[in-house]
Amino acid sequence: MSLSQIAEELRVSDPDRFGASLLVPQPARDRLWTLYALNHDLARAPLQSNEPLIAMMRLRWWIDQLEAIGGGALPENEPLASLVEVWGRDAAALADLAEARMRDCEREPFGTADEVQDYIHATSGALMRHAVRTLGVPAEADQAAQDQALGCGLARWLAALPQLDPLRLGLAQPDPALISELARRGLAALDRAKAARPHVPRAAAPAMFQGIGYVAALRAMADEGRPVAIATSEFKRRFALGRLALTGRWWE
């Protein structure tokens, strides 16, 4: 799969990240595209089998491949070939994205808010960390980036509960109080990220931007204790991307 094909898939599956990535100069743009493509494949890997052992073996293959890249191996399969072309041996550092998905293979629902939060840190948080590092953002912005990833990650995870619960990847049992608690944690994280924006360089904006509609969805979920879709109009989405390009505003 060529970089242009990877970019087209990202444009369709995640138009907000794709639009934001266009503001990044190459080669950082290519690194973001291949990073997001890898993350997408890793998220799907545990779902390709209902047998935990087989799912783990599939994910273990990805981990082994990424670690081998660190040793100088040159895989021929896609998208790893494009990943190595852009990242080189640095791609080995992305193995943590695969390791974080091992929990999905076990098909053990979450029982506490802390368990969910740790999972979001390990998945969305790790992805954000790699993205901002790709843009050369200093460590001083790490906490804001992690808070942004946590807030948006919790919103996406909660909104997807109707699809996750039947797969045993959601909550152990329906619990409006737990949903409300997680939504409040998401709102608090987004508030912290927004408050820290003076410490986030503009170069980080394309990675920090996750789209819009998260705050409204989290507020509704906090009030109602049920999953609420993250929704916005196409006009508002395009406006937010345009504002990002003109002003660097990544927060809601």
Q: Give the pLDDT confidence of 23-66 residue by residue, as tens digits.
A: 999 889 999 999 999 999 999 999 988 899 999 999 999 999 99
Judgement on whether residues 144 and 84 belong to the same structural domain of the protein: no
Judgement on whether residues 188 and 63 belong to the same structural domain of the protein: no
Judgement on whether residues 88 and 202 belong to the same structural domain of the protein: no
Residues 197-233: pLDDT tens digits?
Answer: 999 999 999 999 999 999 999 999 999 999 999 999 9
For 187-192, the CB contacts below 8 A with 24+ separation are 187/151, 187/215, 187/218, 187/219, 187/222, 188/151, 189/147, 189/148, 189/150, 189/151, 189/154, 190/147, 190/148, 190/151, 190/152, 190/214, 190/215, 190/218, 190/251, 190/252, 192/143, 192/144, 192/147
Judgement on whether residues 229 and 148 belong to the same structural domain of the protein: yes
Bigger pLDDT: 113 or 50? Answer: 113
- Cα end-to-end distance, the chain, whole Å: 34
Q: Is the pLDDT of residue 169 over 90?
A: yes
Judgement on whether residues 212 and 189 belong to the same structural domain of the protein: yes
C-beta separation of 10 from 17 below 8 A? yes
Residues 135-155: pLDDT tens digits?
Answer: 988 888 899 999 999 999 999
Judgement on whether residues 116 and 162 belong to the same structural domain of the protein: yes
Judgement on whether residues 62 and 136 belong to the same structural domain of the protein: no
Question: What is the Cα–Cα distance from 207 to 196, expressed in whole angstroms?
Answer: 15
Question: What pLDDT, on a 0 to 100 scale, did the predictor assign at position 175?
Answer: 96
- Which single residue is written with the structure tokens 């508002």? 236
Pick the last residue of a domain from 66, 86, 107: 107
Average pLDDT, the chain: 94
Q: Is the pLDDT of residue 242 over 80?
A: yes
Give the rounded percent of residues in the chain with a pLDDT score beyond 70: 98
Q: Please give the average per-residue pLDDT across 170-179, as a whole number.
A: 96
C-beta separation of 221 from 116 below 8 A? no
Question: What pLDDT, on a 0 to 100 scale, did the predictor assign at position 79?
Answer: 66
Question: What is the Cα–Cα distance from 62 to 107, expressed in whole angstroms?
Answer: 19
Judgement on whether residues 225 and 124 belong to the same structural domain of the protein: yes
Question: What pLDDT, on a 0 to 100 scale, did the predictor assign at position 76?
Answer: 64
Judgement on whether residues 93 and 116 belong to the same structural domain of the protein: no
Residues 73-91: pLDDT tens digits?
Answer: 777 676 688 899 999 999 9
Its pTM stands at 0.94
Pick the last residue of a domain from 107, 132, 165: 107
Judgement on whether residues 100 and 1 belong to the same structural domain of the protein: yes
Structural domain harbouring 97: 1-107
C-beta separation of 194 from 159 below 8 A? no
Judgement on whether residues 103 and 128 belong to the same structural domain of the protein: no
Q: Is the pLDDT of residue 237 over 90?
A: yes
Question: What pLDDT, on a 0 to 100 scale, did the predictor assign at position 110?
Answer: 98
Pick the last residue of a domain from 107, 127, 154: 107
pLDDT band for position 189 (cuts 50, 70, 90): very high
Number of domains observed in the structure of the chain: 2
Judgement on whether residues 234 and 152 belong to the same structural domain of the protein: yes
